[in-house]
Structure formats: structure tokens, C-alpha cells
Structure 1
Amino acid sequence: MKKMKMFFDIEKEEQWLNEQLQKGYRCTNISGLGIYTFEKTDKRYVMRLDYQDILLKKKFKDYKGIYEDFGWMYINGSLLSGIRYWQKEDDGQNEIFSDRQSKCHYYKRLINYSSGFGLLCLFFSYMIYKDSGLYLTEGLWSMKGAWFWKAFLFETPFALLRSLPALMFAFFAISFYKAYRKYSMLKEK
């Protein structure tokens, strides 16, 4: 079974993947385009996601080895940096972060991830809007009657597409805020 889904919040993605596991579908692959491949299973699995900054080949091998020593199976992830997908049979020891400090480091990495992509989206939004605005049809606002509506309806899908970086910035800003709030709560304890 294949499902296509996009996430901007790593914790919501993890929750959704675990819901699929509860329904009896084990994840076997995740493409970079948001296509998840599942297979039916009778065993109970749990899935955890981790975000890692750049890991060179040796560090990645060590990172992967630590998780595999505890029974986690690596599903997918970028070789350099990004979200790593881990899955194992449910045995009661289902957390990948065993202490407060490692959880703090995780949220710190999520803060960096969200702020980096958020700023990139903000930059793209600025580049799109700085000279032209959302609607590019010349004289659109001075047109009258049917010509206006035809031009407006034709241009609207393109305008929505141009607004996508601003929307993505908002999603990453929310993700940043959630990670920062959880990080702050852990630091206070």
C-alpha cells in the first residue's frame, strides 16, 4: 500500500506513522516526495523519527550502529542531514531518547531545522513579492466586466502558487515555536 502525505511537523509525521502501525501496516520505505510505502503485518511495531544535522560517513555509521544495537531498524533518511526514520517491534522500550539531555539536544536540532527552512522560505517570499506582487497580469485591476473575471480567474492559481513559500514559512514558524517551547520546558526542569 502506498500513501502520499506532506508534513512540516516531525512530531505529527511520527504520530501519523504510528497510527498506521496500529492499523497493522508497517512502513517499508519513504520517498523524498512524501510517498510512504506500507506492508500488512501481524506484529506490533513502533516508529520514531530523529532529526540529525550533517553526519559524515563515519559518524553516520556510528549513529546507525548505536540505534541498531538497541533493536531499531533504519528505514530511510538523507545521508547528509535530515529526518531519520527508525522502526522496531514494540517491546516496551520504545523511546530513542533515554534522558532529558538527549531530548533537549533533539529539540535544539528541530529548532535549527525549522528556523533554517523557515528563513529560506521567507527569503523566497521576499524575492517573489519585492517587485511584482502576487498577481502579474498587467492592468488586471483596471480591467472591467468579463475581461477582469477571465484574467483574474486565470491568474489566481498562479498567484496561489507564488504564495506557497509564505505559507511554508508560516508552517515552519509554528514548528519552530512548538520545538522551542518544548526545549524551554525541558531546560527549566
Structure 2
Amino acid sequence: MKKFKIFSNVLNEEKWLNEQLEAGYKCINISGYGSYSFEPADKKHVIRLDYQGYLSSEKFNEYKAVYEDFGWVHVKGSRLSGLHYWQKENDGQTEIFSDKQSLSNYYKRLMNYASSTAVLFLVFIFILYSGNRFQINEIYLTPDLWNMEGGAFWFAFLFETPFAIFRIIPPFLFVACAIIYINSYISYKRIKKLL
């Protein structure tokens, strides 16, 4: 079974994934584009997300070995950085963070990731839109597109639409990163109060 869903909050993503697993499925693949693959499972499973920055090959192998010693299976994640998806049978030991300090560190890593990614998108937005007054018909760069008629218009319009979409996506990605940062910050502050 495949499902497509996009999240701006990793906590909501983890919750949704666990709802799917609770319904009797096991996650077998996660693409970077919001596509999740599941298969029926005899036993209940649980999934947890962790964010890690760049890890050397040695550190990445150590990181995986620690979780695998406790029965977790690495579903997705790269040593170069990003979210790591860990899944295991629900045996009652379902948390990957042993204490509030490690959970606090997780949210701090997530905040750093979201803020650095948001800055990159902000720079890209500035480069893309600097000096121009943004109008929706200006995202299409084909000369005289709006003056064309018939088949020539539709061919040029349909050909350039994917490129136009690419030009308007950065502001939305910036907002998504800002939302991730704000949610992580709120969770981080809540955990810090408990320490």
C-alpha cells in the first residue's frame, strides 16, 4: 500500500506514521517526496524519527549500531544529514530518547536544521525576486506568451509551467521551514522547563 502525504512538522509525521502502523501495517519505504510504502504485518510496530547532522562513516555506523542493539530497524536516513526513521515491533520499549536531555538535544538539532534551510531558501528568494515587482504572469519567461493564441499558446504555456512552478516554490518551502523551526522551538522550550 502506498500513501502520499507532506508534513511541515516532524511530530505530526511521526504521529501519522504510527497511526498507520497501529492499523496493522509496517513501513517498508519512505521517499523524499512524501511517498510512504506499507505492507500488512502480523505484529504491531512503532516508528520514531530522529534528526542528525553530518556524520562520518564511523559515527554513522556507531549511531546505527546503538539503535539496532535495542531492536530498531533503520528505515530511512543518510549519514550526510537529515531525518532518520527507526521502526521496531511494539514491545513496550518504544522511545528512542532515554531522557529529557536527549529529547531536548533532538529539538535543538531540528531547530538548527530548519533555520539553516530557511536561510538558504531566503537567499534563493532574494536572488530570484530581487529588483522585480512580483506579478504572477511574470513567472512565465517565454516572450509574448500572453499574446500568443491557439496551439502555440498552449504548447508554450504547458511547456513552461513546470519551470514557473519551480520559481514559485521557494517561498512556500521557506514558510514550511519556518513552521518546523517554530514547532521545534516550542517543544524545545517546553522540555527545557522540565529539566
After TM superposition, the score normalised by the length of structure 1 is 0.84
**SS across alignment from 1:107:** helix
TM-aligned CA deviation for residue 59 of structure 1 = 0.6
Per the TM alignment, residue 131 of structure 1 is displaced from its structure 2 partner at its CA by 3.3
**1:123 matched residue in structure 2:** 123
The percentage of aligned residue pairs carrying the same residue is 49
Aligned-partner Cα distance in 2 for 1:112–1:130: 26
Q: Spell out, residue by residue over 1:26-84, the C-alpha distance to the aligned partner (whole angstroms, 9 max, x if none).
A: 10111223322211112100000100011111111111111111111111111211110
CA distances 1:134-175 after superposition (whole Å, capped 9, x unpaired)? 4256799xx9xx9xxx9xxx69x6665422111111111111
3-state DSSP of counterpart to 1:95: coil
* 1:91 partner SS: coil
The residue aligned with 1:186 is: 191
Partner-residue secondary structure (3-state), 1:3: strand
Amino acid at match of 1:4: F
Report what 2:18 is aligned to. Answer: 18
1:1-189 matches, cutoff 5 A: 1-132=1-132, 133-134=134-135, 135-136=138-139, 161-189=166-194
Using the alignment, how far apart are the partners of 2:2 and 2:114 within structure 1? 27
Distance 2:7 2:115 in 1: 16
Unmatched segments (≥5 aa) in structure 2: none
Letter in structure 1 aligned against 2:103: K
- Aligned with 1:177: secondary structure? helix
In 2, the alpha carbon distance for the partners of 1:46 and 1:14 equals 9
Q: Which runs of 5+ in 1 are unaligned?
A: none
RMSD of aligned residue pairs (Cα, Å): 2.5
Q: Which has the larger displacement, 70-79 or 30-39?
A: 30-39
Q: Which moved more, 1:4-13 or 1:17-26?
A: 4-13
Residue identity opposite 1:20 in structure 2: Q
Amino acid at match of 2:167: R
C-alpha contact (below 8 Å) 2:8/2:179 kept by paired residues: no
- Cα deviation per residue 1:95-150 (whole Å; 9 max; x = unaligned)? 1111011001000000011101111111111111113334256799xx9xx9xxx9
More displaced stretch, 3-12 vs 22-31: 3-12
> CA shift at 1:24, angstroms?
1.4
